[in-house]
Amino acid sequence: MDKQEFVSRLAVKNNSKMLMLIMDGLGGVPEIGGKTELEAANTPNMDMIAKASDLGQSVPVIPGVTPGSGPGHLGLFGYDPIKYQIGRGILEALGVGVEVSEKDVVARGNFATFKDGIVVDRRAGRPATEENVKVCEFINSRISEIDGIKVHVFPGKEHRFVLKLTGDGLEDKLTDADPQRVGEPVMYAEALDQGSEKTAKIVNEFITRVAKLLNGKEKISGCLLRGFSNYPNIPKFPEIYKIRSAAIATYPMYKGLAKLVGMDVLDVPAVEGEMETIKSEIKVLKDNYDNYDFFYFHVKHTDSYGEDSNFMAKMNVIEIVDKVIPEIMSVKFDVLAITGDHSTPTLMGGHSWHPVPLLLRSKYSRYGLSKAFNEKECARGSLGTIEARDLMSFLLANALRLEKYGA
Amino acid sequence: MDKQEFVSRLAVKNNSKMLMLIMDGLGGVPEIGGKTELEAANTPNMDMIAKASDLGQSVPVIPGVTPGSGPGHLGLFGYDPIKYQIGRGILEALGVGVEVSEKDVVARGNFATFKDGIVVDRRAGRPATEENVKVCEFINSRISEIDGIKVHVFPGKEHRFVLKLTGDGLEDKLTDADPQRVGEPVMYAEALDQGSEKTAKIVNEFITRVAKLLNGKEKISGCLLRGFSNYPNIPKFPEIYKIRSAAIATYPMYKGLAKLVGMDVLDVPAVEGEMETIKSEIKVLKDNYDNYDFFYFHVKHTDSYGEDSNFMAKMNVIEIVDKVIPEIMSVKFDVLAITGDHSTPTLMGGHSWHPVPLLLRSKYSRYGLSKAFNEKECARGSLGTIEARDLMSFLLANALRLEKYGA
């Protein structure tokens, strides 16, 4: 039996409130002055809470493995990120804010340049996103269904788009319709099983029609499709843990992931500025406090600046989060977790495998070991080094929402 | 899916270089002056590197389990040492330097004393090894094949030898041909499945012929056989991890283990003395640097002196390794790991279950937490306590040889 399934059997309801505060890409490696971004940041509020908390470090997937946002978040939500894999097409769709449901198959698309049936540019010369938007509108105006299946394209950045097919009997066991290099003939998808043959036929008809519609255009004259994905069959978070669950996030990817596991996604009014955005999220938290047991609260830019290798900016986001901690603490939560979905060290300019600092606070914390919230204290914290997918168990336990196992 | 298989899917090639420096049986428990061998040793070089490294401790198999060299090394090489078991016969063969291949079945042998069909001494009075060598030569001169299967015996120490059968259709599902106590009749092997019947017939014919050849000798007058083993079907290390891999070791067992998983075993010229031997190994490392991505570098005597309960001698070997660290560091490696395959505390005079100190150094190390390389610092290191089989994932991650998992 899967750990999550086991924990689910022990889960009971009560009136406790839990908050999971995720700073995306939180962890770092020592860089400026031999410090990580979190170590360099001035975080008096988190440090104070750390003194009354359990600290630890969280391994997103398994040791050494660097996760994307999908597996990183599945782990935080208590799922085994190796057992539950979310297709590339779905992640792309979530990333651009496409709603996906059980009857859909989605795929990642590239606009490309075709010439005499040959792919001569896999990215159509990286068009401006506005041009992409126009081409998607044009395609949607000309192709709305094929063989009774609804067809829709959604623009992404530059040459990227998402194809969504909606209808009965769609399956995703298809090969990619992408030769992966230029100079090769236009490719079509092949069904890998009988159930996917209908989908392959529609996909290939779509490729043909798009090429015909765009025939002769200089740059965008065709499309490539890959990562065909059904809506994943994932047990629902609120049912597994018996908690009313809400997500507070501003980026489509994270809203999409939360929705995928069955959380309610709360609408966060868009505002300018880092502090303003977090304040906007806190307002949503306060407004919805009564209606949920569990809040997933996502801060994006620790990761973005990590990816940009901008140490000071990542540090600054951490300091902004620290400044709002008193306001977050004024909303009474029985259990508070602060961590990230993975590390994004500015030194590396990308996600990494390094464990993520983790703080867990409840009145049952075995506190007193740690003096601050940072990588070093967390490495020596009272929780030890855990897998991300165990975090939900700790949250529930500290909320007294797990029954004793056995007599 | 097995962790190793999962990691294998993420593995990519690049130009990085990795060194795994294994001090066999490295870990200890506090003894002289309340210190372990590693703590008592003067190791300024390793301590300096530790300041710039991740430290942790490595559990060879699972908590509490003391491994032999086989499982100890399988773990280090990334294999699940419970899933992959190497037969006793194979380990014995590797230990005495017998080359084993896919067409072989090998077994551990004891020379014994038979009297009127009864085993009266299972070790033939522990003969001198020279006598063993002579008896093996005699047997090989009289029995070279049975029913088309090549038969060869190799002397070990005292009463021990290895039997190797080579040919088609050999299988190893046989019961031991060893009554395990004296006063019992000479035993023969029984096939546990149909495929092994031919092998049983040959083995029993061998036992009979040896007893006939040696009939009437005072001490060595028969043989016992156990641990029949085929060549294990193990996925190949260089293929799993996509690395050109070389082993630098002086003892047959470790060369054999490395060969078994598919590493190239480099020839180390034999020299006298601890320091000289390690220098000889370093020369091989330097000479072959360009041809490999990964080096397994084995130092034997930390374990040997641990088994002899010789604290000062084990400590001395550690100090000798420390002295050559600057020379090893002058060969540029992107990732360096220093650890052992298990602990061999001199206090216990044998292998133990204690976790093994582990140092991991790359430019992505989350350094700054630890000040020296020893059991205490490692127990509180930034890597936490890991399973040995996760070490390869960390090496590859730090070499940037693992792709991101999921988007």
For chain B, percent of residues with pLDDT exceeding 90: 94
pLDDT of B337-382, one tens digit each?
A: 999 999 999 999 999 999 999 999 999 999 999 999 999 999 999 9
Q: How far apart are CA B395 and CA B386, in angstroms?
A: 13
- A3-85+234-398 CATH fold: Alkaline Phosphatase, subunit A (3.40.720)
pLDDT of A351-396, one tens digit each?
A: 999 999 999 999 999 999 999 999 999 999 999 999 999 999 999 9
Closest A-chain CA to B377: A380
Q: Which residues from chain A sit within 8 angstroms of residue B381, using beta carbons?
A: 379
Candidates A79, A95, A399; CA nearest to A239 is: A79
CB atoms inside a 10 Å sphere around CB A192: 15
CA distance B319 to chain A (A): 28
* DSSP 8-class letter at A288: H
Q: For position B233, what pLDDT does the model report?
A: 86
Distances (CA, A) of A364 to A22, A136, A205: 21, 54, 60
- Residue A30 CB partners (closer than 8 Å, separation 6+): A36, A39, B366, B367, B368
pLDDT of A209-226, one tens digit each?
A: 999 999 989 999 999 999
CA distance B298 to chain A (A): 23
Q: Say if CB B70 and CB B60 are below 8 A apart.
A: no
Interface test with B, best of A59, A353, A383 (most B CBs within 10 A): A353
Closest B-chain CA to A66: B404
Q: For position B197, what pLDDT does the model report?
A: 96
Residue B119 CA to its chain's centroid (Å): 32
Q: Are the beta carbons of A61 and B366 separated by less than 8 Å?
A: no
Q: Which residues of A lie inside 8 Å of B (Cβ-Cβ)?
A: 29-30, 34-36, 57, 61-72, 81-82, 85-86, 88, 91-92, 95, 345, 347-348, 350-355, 375-376, 379-380, 384-385
Q: How far apart are CA A352 and CA A348, in angstroms?
A: 8
Question: Which of A9-13, A228-232, A286-290, B192-196 comes out lowest in average pLDDT?
Answer: A228-232
Q: Boundaries of CATH 3.30.70 in chain B?
A: 91-230
Q: Are the beta carbons of A34 and B367 separated by less than 8 Å?
A: yes
Q: How far apart are CA A119 and CA A102, in angstroms?
A: 33
Asked whether the predicted pLDDT for residue B49 surpasses 90, the reply is yes
pLDDT of A130-178, one tens digit each?
A: 999 999 999 999 999 999 999 999 999 899 999 999 999 999 999 999 9
Q: Which residues from chain A sit within 8 angstroms of residue B364, using beta carbons?
A: 29, 345, 347-348, 352, 354
Q: For position B123, what pLDDT does the model report?
A: 95
- Distance spanning both ends of chain A, measured CA to CA: 20
Enter the tokens of residue B310: 């010789």
Enter the tokens of residue A57: 């470090």
Q: Which residue has the tokens 């090989």?
A: B140
Distances (CA, A) of B98 to A192, B89, B162, B237, B268: 47, 11, 8, 21, 17
The answer as to CATH 3.20.20.70 being correct for domain B3-85+233-398 is no
The pLDDT of A86-101, averaged and rounded, is 88
The residues with which B225 forms a beta bridge, in sequence order, are B109, B177
Distances (CA, A) of B304 to A59, A386, B116, B279, B350: 36, 35, 40, 19, 9
Distances (CA, A) of A254 to A70, A267, A296, B248: 9, 12, 10, 48
Q: Say if CB B28 and CB B341 are below 8 A apart.
A: no
Fill in the amino acid letter for A249. Answer: A
Q: Are the beta carbons of B364 and A354 separated by less than 8 Å?
A: yes
Q: Say if CB B57 and CB B357 are below 8 A apart.
A: yes
CA distance B325 to chain A (A): 24
Q: Say if CB A238 and CB A287 are below 8 A apart.
A: no
Closest B-chain CA to A350: B404
What backbone phi and psi angles, to 5 degrees, belong to B112? -140, 170
Question: Within 13 Å and on the Cβ side, how many CA atoms surround B251?
Answer: 16
- Distance spanning both ends of chain B, measured CA to CA: 20
CA distance B107 to chain A (A): 37
Distances (CA, A) of A292 to A245, A248, A274, B8, B289: 6, 12, 25, 41, 60
The residues with which A108 forms a beta bridge, in sequence order, are A162, A226
Band (pLDDT 50/70/90 cuts) for residue B1 is confident
- Residue A63 CB partners (closer than 8 Å, separation 6+): A353, B386, B390, B393, B394
pLDDT of A104-141, one tens digit each?
A: 999 999 999 999 999 999 999 999 999 999 999 999 99
Q: For position B131, what pLDDT does the model report?
A: 96
3-state secondary structure of B369: coil
The residues with which B387 forms a beta bridge, in sequence order, are B59
Pick one of 3.40.50, 1.10.10, 3.30.530, 3.30.70 as the CATH number of B91-230. 3.30.70
Band (pLDDT 50/70/90 cuts) for residue B92 is confident
Q: Which residues from chain A sit within 8 angstroms of residue B18, using beta carbons?
A: none
pLDDT of B220-274, one tens digit each?
A: 999 999 999 999 889 999 999 999 999 999 998 999 999 999 999 999 999 999 9
Enter the tokens of residue A272: 């300018």
Strands A294-299 and A245-248: parallel
Q: Which residue has the tokens 């036929």?
A: A201
CB < 8 Å & 24+ apart, contacts of B119-124: B119/B179, B119/B182, B119/B183, B119/B184, B119/B185, B119/B186, B119/B187, B119/B222, B119/B224, B120/B182, B120/B183, B121/B182, B121/B219, B122/B178, B122/B180, B122/B181, B122/B182, B122/B224, B123/B158, B123/B159, B124/B159, B124/B219, B124/B220, B124/B221
Band (pLDDT 50/70/90 cuts) for residue B96 is confident
Q: Boundaries of CATH 3.40.720.10 in chain B?
A: 3-85+233-398
Fill in the amino acid letter for B166. Answer: T
Enter the tokens of residue B62: 């699972």
Q: Which residue has the tokens 């967390």?
A: A378
Which H or E element spans position B274? helix B274-288
Q: For position A186, what pLDDT does the model report?
A: 96
Interface test with B, best of A2, A26, A29 (most B CBs within 10 A): A29
Q: For position A95, what pLDDT does the model report?
A: 84
| CB-count exposure of residue B360 (10 Å: 0-12, 13-18, 19+) | buried
CA distance A75 to chain B (A): 12
| CB-count exposure of residue A372 (10 Å: 0-12, 13-18, 19+) | middle
Q: For position B331, what pLDDT does the model report?
A: 94
Strands A18-23 and A335-339: parallel
Closest B-chain CA to A344: B364
Q: How far apart are CA A267 and CA A289, in angstroms?
A: 14
Q: Are the beta carbons of B397 and A81 separated by less than 8 Å?
A: no
Mean pLDDT, all residues of chain A: 96
Interface test with B, best of A59, A65, A108 (most B CBs within 10 A): A65
Distances (CA, A) of B217 to B130, B163, B185, B221, B374: 16, 21, 18, 5, 54
Q: Which residues of B lie inside 8 Å of A (Cβ-Cβ)?
A: 1, 3, 6-7, 10, 364-369, 380-386, 390, 392-397, 402-407
For chain A, percent of residues with pLDDT exceeding 90: 94
Q: For position A162, what pLDDT does the model report?
A: 96
Asked whether the predicted pLDDT for residue A1 surpasses 90, the reply is no
Q: How far apart are CA A323 and CA A157, in angstroms?
A: 33
Q: Boundaries of CATH 3.40.720.10 in chain A?
A: 3-85+234-398
For chain A, percent of residues with pLDDT exceeding 70: 100
Q: Which residues from chain A sit within 8 angstroms of residue B384, using beta carbons?
A: 57, 355, 379, 384-385
DSSP string, B199-214: HHHHHHHHHHHHHHHT
